[in-house]
Structure 1
């Protein structure tokens, strides 16, 4: 990456010599979040098509090495000074976030507009550790909110696309100046696409839905493998599971409220929470304060959550917002009834009363979960319905592959 100022996208002609394309996948990979997993699955999908895939990830935090498929070349890029790291939203220690640097970044932020975002412009000029090559295709699989989108707009390629995973579009303010340089703007659900098009109608002709790529056969195979994290057997308990990043938008405090009230009703259950994140310590303290240590278990992360999901009686997700909800999709594949918050992304996945329940508040969660605990035949009926309906939309993956291969495909 040279030191010149950002002046628009760098283009190259794709030679397509043998059909084997050079593709850069720019991801984040800080934990086992849904967008991280989806990014890796995209890379694997493209590898399986015979393409030469390079993974670009920031050097911040502890990269989960187990997420990276064998044979996938990976570059961990950084920046050559603290101010560039701050501008690019890399992780920094508190000592590195000096008042002077924060004020300087704030000035650049305030001087930015819809055509330029000066903090990212500065950060891109100071990135290090990037490959010195051109690509046929560049995919920014989760870059909004930090410098990845600006980087992908700068890399020389024939085609580029970005992938929006969140309904919270305030994250896009810094990325917006670069979006005009992308040929495709993928949205992880119809919910996200509708919100994006309403906010940025001038870009709506570039949007398409790209659902999380999921291999149903692989998930079912992984679900049959022996569990290694804990024994998922319930010993007569109602087995509840949540697989989630432990962050505020997942609203996991509601889990503790629900669990407290279920126990007050005399329900015998165990609630396993798989995942990690910044809310872990807060949740641990609340679980201890409520005396729920014997029923609410923070299990941490695992590369294979599927044996535990398969063994559960209920899958529960209390999120206040989701782009789509990968954990819910995977539970559906395994035939586990889902009790989830009544938000637009989950309405795309769950038929209320048929394959699960949509719940408006804690009261609704408590009532629906207690009902399903008392009526196992209703859980079985939901599971049977899930087994008969598709959980994966292959058409969106075909649209992605069509774009990667340079074929026109305007179906939305």
Structure 2
């Protein structure tokens, strides 16, 4: 029996974490012994972890990567805190506005001398969430596999540093064909290592949770209900969604309500934007929910207004629940939705989102057709794991 390590950050509510849960629920534990390394044992999804993988003890040092610099210093990890400060400063020297990815790279790179090695040696070590420095530098394994969950053409990274890290891996799993294509375009030297392994979806799991009874204003809202499930971050385009709803309101569509399930650092900014556009009664931030599926079940339309995605887990889940979906035309959109068949792809702009919603709002027959096509499609894909077993 081969020994496998799977490493990720934590189990906070999110698409990557949800896809990890699905993979762990479908893993072949008869042939593989799995250790799970979470840098921090936090998050509502902790309770959803299956009993089969062995959860390793939390590390006081690695858990700092999910803390603020101030919390890190207070926890007694002075060197790590100082390194984090240096990483933040170096990233701030960059002229790009979005420097979060570079800051994370520098944080890990500068911290490496102060991070403990994983004592146990593995046949295979899997790093599930970028940046992959822990598995790359601190784990001994015969084979190392890393995951790509995002469109790397849209994020600002230190390419030289990134390639040094990626070169530590034997295989790189991309969650969609488009995700692979954009990654290879940015890092052509790594092309031979990359293969496509889609996020594992479990229709039975999603459908069972969708039947949970939820007491919420949305359940009794008679208006046309749009739903988005996403982190409140720049990448997810919730600011575009707010402005698109304002465009629709100005066109006379007063009976549309847009609900967003999720949390994140942009919440305060988004609430202010809602207020500025006088949409307090129409654009509703529901907050963090462990189970978003009853909200999906209740929606008339699921919309993903993202600026970029690898492959949005939530879109696939809405399709499993036979909902008409609309996504923006981000670079990997074609691998997510068959436009006009099991979803609609709109222009990636405020006007584009508004026009796409207006079209679907006015055309109930199209919504029914998209929903029916979703219902007739089998979205289960546990056989995808055979691609992983082959690399193992």
Report the TM-score range of the alignment, normalised by the length of the smaller protein.
Answer: 0.7 to 0.9
Distance in 1, Cα, partners of 2:238 & 2:90: 32
Kindly tell me: are residues 90 and 149 of structure 1, through their superposed partners in 2, closer, same or farther at Cα, counting changes over 3 Å? farther
Q: What is aligned with 1:257?
A: 243
Q: What is aligned with 2:373?
A: 385
Distance in 1, Cα, partners of 2:255 & 2:106: 55
Distance in 2, Cα, partners of 1:154 & 1:100: 19
Residues 76-111 of structure 1: CA deviation (Å, up to 9, x unaligned): 33439xxx96xx78642399566995289849x99x
Instruction: Please state if 1:156 is matched with 2:146.
Output: no
Aligned residues: 367
Q: 2:228 aligns with which of 213, 222, 242?
A: 242
Higher Cα Rg, which structure: 1
Kindly tell me: are residues 175 and 37 of structure 1, through their superposed partners in 2, closer, same or farther at Cα, counting changes over 3 Å? farther
Residues 309-350 of structure 1: CA deviation (Å, up to 9, x unaligned): 011110011111101111111111111111211123222122
CA shift, 1:159, in A, is: 1.8
CA shift, 1:250, in A, is: 0.8
Structure 1 stretch displaced more, 236-245 or 385-394: 385-394
Residues 161-203 of structure 1: CA deviation (Å, up to 9, x unaligned): 0001111254463342132221211111111111222232322
Q: What is aligned with 2:37?
A: 56
Q: 1:166 aligns with which of 150, 171, 190?
A: 150
What aligned pairs does 1:317-332 form with structure 2 within 5 A after superposition?
317-332=304-319
Report the aligned-residue RMSD.
Answer: 3.2
SS of corresponding position for 2:141: coil
Instruction: Please state if 1:77 is matched with 2:64.
Output: no
Q: In the alignment, is the contact (CA less than 8 A) between 1:121 and 1:150 conserved in 2?
A: no
SS of corresponding position for 2:69: coil
Q: TM-score, normalised by structure 1?
A: 0.79
Distance in 1, Cα, partners of 2:337 & 2:88: 47
Q: What is aligned with 1:44?
A: 25
SS of corresponding position for 1:142: coil
Instruction: Please state if 1:29 is matched with 2:10.
Output: yes
Q: In the alignment, is the contact (CA less than 8 A) between 2:176 and 2:196 conserved in 1?
A: yes
Structure 1 stretches lacking a partner, 5+ long? 1-18, 111-116, 405-412
CA shift, 1:217, in A, is: 1.6
Distance in 2, Cα, partners of 1:314 & 1:238: 8
Residues 137-174 of structure 1: CA deviation (Å, up to 9, x unaligned): 21100122xxx434444311222100011112544633
Residues 219-268 of structure 1: CA deviation (Å, up to 9, x unaligned): 1121122225x254354311110000111011111111112122231331
Q: What is aligned with 1:397?
A: 385
Q: TM-score, normalised by structure 2?
A: 0.83
Distance in 1, Cα, partners of 2:133 & 2:25: 21
Q: What is aligned with 2:102?
A: none
Distance in 1, Cα, partners of 2:110 & 2:375: 51
Q: 1:123 aligns with which of 111, 114, 130?
A: 111
Structure 1 stretch displaced more, 257-266 or 243-252: 257-266
Q: In the alignment, is the contact (CA less than 8 A) between 2:219 and 2:298 conserved in 1?
A: yes
Q: In the alignment, is the contact (CA less than 8 A) between 1:350 and 1:357 conserved in 2?
A: yes
CA shift, 1:127, in A, is: 2.1
Q: What is aligned with 1:93?
A: 70
Distance in 1, Cα, partners of 2:82 & 2:121: 36
What aligned pairs does 1:3-22 form with structure 2 within 5 A after superposition?
19=1, 21-22=2-3
CA shift, 1:356, in A, is: 2.6
Instruction: Please state if 1:372 is matched with 2:360.
Output: yes
Q: In the alignment, is the contact (CA less than 8 A) between 1:246 and 1:277 conserved in 2?
A: yes
Q: What is aligned with 2:295?
A: 308
Q: In the alignment, is the contact (CA less than 8 A) between 1:149 and 1:162 conserved in 2?
A: no
SS of corresponding position for 2:205: helix
Distance in 2, Cα, partners of 1:330 & 1:23: 28
CA shift, 1:133, in A, is: 1.9
Q: In the alignment, is the contact (CA less than 8 A) between 1:335 and 1:384 conserved in 2?
A: yes
Instruction: Please state if 1:359 is matched with 2:336.
Output: no
Q: 1:66 aligns with which of 9, 34, 46?
A: 46
Instruction: Please state if 1:187 is matched with 2:178.
Output: no
Which aligned runs of 4 or more in structure 1 are off by greater than 6 angstroms? 97-100
Residues 2-47 of structure 1: CA deviation (Å, up to 9, x unaligned): xxxxxxxxxxxxxxxxx3x332211123632222222333333336
Kindly tell me: are residues 95 and 160 of structure 1, through their superposed partners in 2, closer, same or farther at Cα, counting changes over 3 Å? closer
More helix by share: 2
Q: In the alignment, is the contact (CA less than 8 A) between 1:28 and 1:143 conserved in 2?
A: no
